[in-house]
Amino acid sequence: MTIRTRFAPSPTGYLHIGGARTALYSWLFARRHEGRFILRIEDTDLERSTPESVAAILEGMAFLNLDYDEGPFYQTQRFDRYREVLSELVAQGHAYYCTCTKAELEERRAAQIARKEKPRYDRRCREAHHGPSADAVVRFKNPLDGQVLVDDAVKGRVVFRNDELDDLIIARSDGTPTYNFTVVVDDMDMEITHVIRGDDHLNNTPRQINMLRALDAKPPAYAHIPMILGEDGARLSKRHGAVSVMQYRDEGYLPEALINYLVRLGWSNGDQEIFTREEMVALFDIKDVHAGAAAINPKKLLWLNQHYIKTLPRTAIAERLRPYLVERGADLAAGPGIEDVVDALRERAKTLVEMAEQALFFYRHEVAVTDPKNQATLAAAPHDALTALVAAFVALPTWTPEAVHAAFEQIAANSGLTFGKLAQPVRIAVTGTSVSPPIDVTCVLLGRDRSIARLKSAIALAFQEGKP
């Protein structure tokens, strides 16, 4: 048997990290078993589904490199198929037309609540043999007795009594099919063998199994994974920070870090924290997913992101850093190669946004010292030493970190200064800030001409006539 899993988001918003984790688990399960991973867009909610949301989902999948073998399939392109199966269910006596009005249903519901009964449809039209009409909906004729056993790979065995289940609506009065019905037809037609989804769908499972059996189709195996919680244990929401995959990208997180983080939100392999994609595929088993909900830990994600910034090939980091620099107005032609900048900054940047901000001075024609503390540091710096350093820079036969470092040491020694006392005002002068890679590396990447020009400009501003 070929394993076939699916990810089936509704395009009513962005790709949430909870959905991304579901997609990842489905993708990993299919890849481990050399199966097929299908992407299905469940867009039958015509009022809320938007092309922008579809694009956001596809963009998020591409960012995480969760490639699919089939699809994307769109439910709105399968309405003829749904009508065909609907007619089949009615003809075989597994579904019926219901003419109860909304007001009648609400009145009966209120009466049930008053009698302290579970509110649900009373099956009044179940044996009425109504035909199709403008106001009629179609309901599935759920079995009245027996049980549905769900051997869930995460939750364990869950038992549902059929007499507790409603005759749910499977087609609205305008003919449009409902979620639970379209899912059944799609899973059947696409020969889905394993459904991995959020545990908020667990209560839908017995109804879907009953419909599949009515269609003489074998139900897939199910695995319902817990939701992701915020740090405070509450349901994850925007108040906890980023929840959209693309928002994490915009904040400078790498897909490798986000994937590594998501796989550990509910699954583990001993104490291992870092996983290559190949290791995930080899080790992941849906049966090892924890039944309890996992809470986000932004510090761990940041730690993972820094790990990948440090360890991925510099070409990969440079390629991803480029758009963040361009977005911030960097003139890439005016500065050093991005790969060299990555080497200089990768030990200190936790995100690509941080790295881009730290790198901007390399790609600007001029920098300004705006922080009062930095201005004070420059003003207190030894004028003669800075002037001597400029002359030493001009005279250097080679412009390498070693040569620049030697010049700093020589001028500092001649001036009775420590290396740091000379390096810090120079750092402020050439970068505009008090933090940068080692000063010799910084100056070499910046280039001799720009280093000298910025140092001269800072000297002129800090040491006006009459000042020491």
Judged against a pLDDT cut of 50, whether residue 347 lies above it is answered with yes
From 5, 11, 10, select the one nearest 24 (Cα to Cα).
Answer: 5
Mean pLDDT check: name the lowest of 51-60, 129-138, 184-193, 237-246.
237-246
Three-state secondary structure call for residue 90 = helix
Provide the terminal-to-terminal Cα distance of the chain, rounded to the nearest Å: 84
CB atoms within 10 A of CB 147: 13
Q: Among 116, 118, 238, 467, which one carries the catalytic annotation?
A: 238
| pTM reported for the whole predicted model | 0.92
Cα–Cα distances (Å) from 363 to 265, 325, 355, 382, in that order, read: 39, 9, 13, 28
pLDDT of 467: 47
Cα–Cα distances (Å) from 305 to 64, 207, 224, 260, 279, in that order, read: 14, 42, 28, 9, 18
Tens-digit pLDDT profile for residues 226-284: 999 988 888 877 777 668 999 999 999 999 999 999 999 999 999 999 999 999 999 99
User: Could you give the domains of the chain?
Assistant: 79-225 (3.40.50.620), 238-309 (1.10.1160.10), 320-363 (no CATH), 372-462 (1.10.10.350)
When the pLDDT of each residue in the chain is averaged and rounded to a whole number, the result is: 95
Report which residue type is found at 36: R
From 273, 247, 248, select the one nearest 258 (Cα to Cα).
Answer: 248
320: confidence class by pLDDT, cuts 50, 70, 90: very high
pLDDT of 104: 94
Residue with tokens 């990208």: 249
pLDDT of 318: 98
287 is catalytic: no
Q: Which residue has the higher pLDDT, 461 or 181?
A: 181
CA distance 422 to 408: 7
CA distance 365 to 339: 20
**Long-range CB pairs of 341-345, under 8 A, 24+ apart, other chains included:** 341/445, 342/314, 342/317, 342/318, 343/314, 344/437, 344/441, 344/442, 344/445, 345/437
How far, in whole angstroms, is CA 393 from its chain's centroid?
47
pLDDT of 239: 73
CA distance 166 to 162: 8
Judged against a pLDDT cut of 60, whether residue 81 lies above it is answered with yes
From 8, 12, 9, 17, select the one nearest 245 (Cα to Cα).
Answer: 17
Q: Average pLDDT in the 405-409 region?
A: 97
Structure tokens at 120: 């649900």
Tens-digit pLDDT profile for residues 163-218: 999 999 999 999 999 999 999 999 999 999 999 999 999 999 999 999 999 999 99
pLDDT of 38: 98
Question: Which DSSP category does 244 fall into?
Answer: B
CA distance 313 to 319: 10
Q: Where are the alpha helices (DSSP H) in 123-171?
A: none
